[in-house]
Structure 1
């Protein structure tokens, strides 16, 4: 009889530790451990008149504060207090042997007061851990959030800088200049200030077979005197937008525009034997666009 009881107790203990391992991976399974702990003690109380304490109360309460995915600390506190109340109720009914001995058990050194202080301290330690953990997690989240914001801002700033530079200079000219500037910044940080190291790159390239197109709006001076500034900017924006689309269609690269002058080159970035023909077609297309805008 005693051998079977010991075997049953050991079985429950090993089963409890099995649930402990499972709970570390799946914290919501703690609900299986609570009835297992209480059932084992109640079973021995009725079957063998053994007054046993609980095994996993400390672990369950700590696990509520540490592992359960409860967003608010108030929910964790309420759940931990509920579990503590169940264990205290078990003590009152089975260990203190009924509510009749509640008062004597409460004020005895080894009685219920010890259990209350025990669970109170467990909850205080759990609350302290949860508050500190939430503070650290929130601080880490805010730091990471700030880092991502700064990274996105820096990436957008670099993209705007590149777009601005590409709108002023052709890519084959702007890219060497960007690399040269970055190299000089790195060398300046390393303390290299010699004239040879800081010498600027001459972004000069020879293109022997290209065609250049200058487009000028006739009577532009008259437009500046008859249109408002807002209307003039809107007209030029619409016109140059059409020019850019046409230039892209006919493989002509826009170099710059100044006022009413649109300056573009064919066969510059990609050598093309039909560069002259592309410029002529683009010029005719520009005339049509100017007539449409007017």
Structure 2
């Protein structure tokens, strides 16, 4: 019960911070005379998707993710370091590395992408886009790649929860066009500039800049692309959702299309191949490749 209360506290506290940031960005862009940054129906859909995601994820963390963490913990190194500057920094960096792996796999494996596609399915970039998440994340299994390596090393589960939540809070502030380059920080940290590339759907932008807090993972593993070298960024995905303002549809259409492809082609390899593999293999996608309707601007 205590873990459930902690989850609800995170939802409430950070929800208020995120809403304040969204409101501030909207007022700032209006004051600067910028229109088309926020779109009413899409913003509502993003907020609804984010709320459902965080409620389900928080309960999942409280009910079974941390329980599985503790079960795995007994088979690991059980390091359990005392709180120090070194151990805290080690945890932050390690959790970000695990996020990089998790995030990379969400783009490379159709099963994981079916949930993650929601986050990439907006044609716009603002703070509300950060909340465009999918409540099925807790059931997709990709969280194992993010949580469980820390259990094997032996970090305390409460430390890991704080590190993961902190990682997500940091990433929220990457979703904006109002912050341009950040100088020397661009070399080490993931920044709005780097993350704009990640949300692009043109060839030079797809599957780039997977880092959470740090960008050096991408530079180390060859997935980095500087915004200046990425060309004009077109936000969205190759197959845009047919109902861009329906939060339930936004969170389920990827899974529906996955099931349709598997059923149509009777090929279970589609589950673990990359997202475009079925189209490339069979040349007959089960989903309609049409652009989303243009959102009204405010």
The TM-score, its normalising length taken from structure 1, stands at 0.20
Structure in which a larger fraction of residues adopt helix: 1
More strand as a share of residues: 1
Look at both structures and tell me which one has the larger radius of gyration over its CA atoms: 1
Normalized against structure 2, the TM-score is what?
Answer: 0.20
